[in-house]
Amino acid sequence: MSTAPPMLINGVAGSQVPALDRGLQYGDGLFETVRCEQGGLRWFGRHLARLGAGCERLGIAMPGGALLRSEAVAVAAGMPRSLVKIIVTRGEARARGYRPRGDEIPTRIVSAHPWPAAPEAEFRVGLSAVTLGVNPQLAGIKHLNRLEQVLAQRAATDTGLQEVLMRSGQGEVVCGSMSNLFLWQGSELLTPGLDACGVAGIMRGLLLELAPRLGLAVRVGPVSVAQLTAARAIIVTNVRLGLQPVHWYEGRRLEVDERGAQLQELIDATP
């Protein structure tokens, strides 16, 4: 980074971790990216819930939520708007090899990053040739094994694309490299299920929960490349972008459905 971000490692200001941390050795950990506005963390309970589910799945002792909250607030102090990244790993390796000994002490790495520049006015999305491996045991959680996303974003360098959509190895469209995906289908929204791969995004969860209040049905089910190619309007979501209308998909101009903005207002008003 151009300047070192404010960072707490296990509650202490710092920037280094042991090279033997299992987060580095194996990607044995989880992360959250939290929106922070005027010192307030947005939807933090939801982030904690997902992190807790991930810890449960991997068998990592979940750090206390109040502790993580106070560390997140501390690193973001003085920044009007930021993205706080929370990494929780299983901790430093106690023995060589993949098998955890069980007495590792989880590592907390909490850092604040300036709010990124807004995406270009025209949001361009393409379809990645990099696919997602299917693994129900890892699906949904936000773990540190992110090479597929790195390869997809790397392949998109110099394409002018802000995001790329990814298929599972079985051919179904699952999500963006850093976002979830919604297709407008008449009065309904369609979003892929995340039982095989992908991350259950916070913004996706908010949308699923709040859409019915606007009389919008959201269907969770398989999405094919053909459906993507035929879609009238598409949204990608994450806590940074919110509900981001896609203006161009694979060079094809899409419509922007104005109900997206209404849904965004409702989400923004939700604590």
Binding site for its own copies (CB under 8 A): 1, 5, 7, 9, 14-28, 31, 58-59, 83, 87, 89, 93-100, 102, 109, 111, 113, 116, 130-138, 143-154, 156-157, 169, 177-178, 197
Specify which residues 36 forms β-bridges with: 41, 82
**Identity of the residue, 40 or 59, whose beta carbon is nearer to its own copies in the bound complex:** 59
**Identity of the residue, 151 or 220, whose beta carbon is nearer to its own copies in the bound complex:** 151
**Cβ pair 259, 198 in contact under 8 A:** no
User: Rounded to the nearest whole angstrom, what is the least distance from the CB of residue 169 to its own copies in the complex?
Assistant: 4
**Identity of the residue, 153 or 211, whose beta carbon is nearer to its own copies in the bound complex:** 153
Q: In what order do the strands lie in the sheet with 12-13?
A: 12-13, 7-9, 107-114, 81-89, 29-37, 40-41
User: Rounded to the nearest whole angstrom, what is the least distance from the CB of residue 244 to its own copies in the complex?
Assistant: 15
User: Rounded to the nearest whole angstrom, what is the least distance from the CB of residue 43 to its own copies in the complex?
Assistant: 19
**Identity of the residue, 22 or 204, whose beta carbon is nearer to its own copies in the bound complex:** 22
Kindly report the number of other CB atoms within 10 A of residue 170's CB atom.
Answer: 12
User: Rounded to the nearest whole angstrom, what is the least distance from the CB of residue 193 to its own copies in the complex?
Assistant: 15
- Encode 141-159: b = buried (16+ Cβ within 10 Å), e = exposed: bbbbebebbebbbebbeee
User: Rounded to the nearest whole angstrom, what is the least distance from the CB of residue 151 to its own copies in the complex?
Assistant: 6
**Identity of the residue, 124 or 259, whose beta carbon is nearer to its own copies in the bound complex:** 124
**Cβ pair 11, 67 in contact under 8 A:** yes
Question: H-type helices in 156-237, by residue range?
Answer: 202-210, 225-230
> 13: helix, coil or strand?
strand
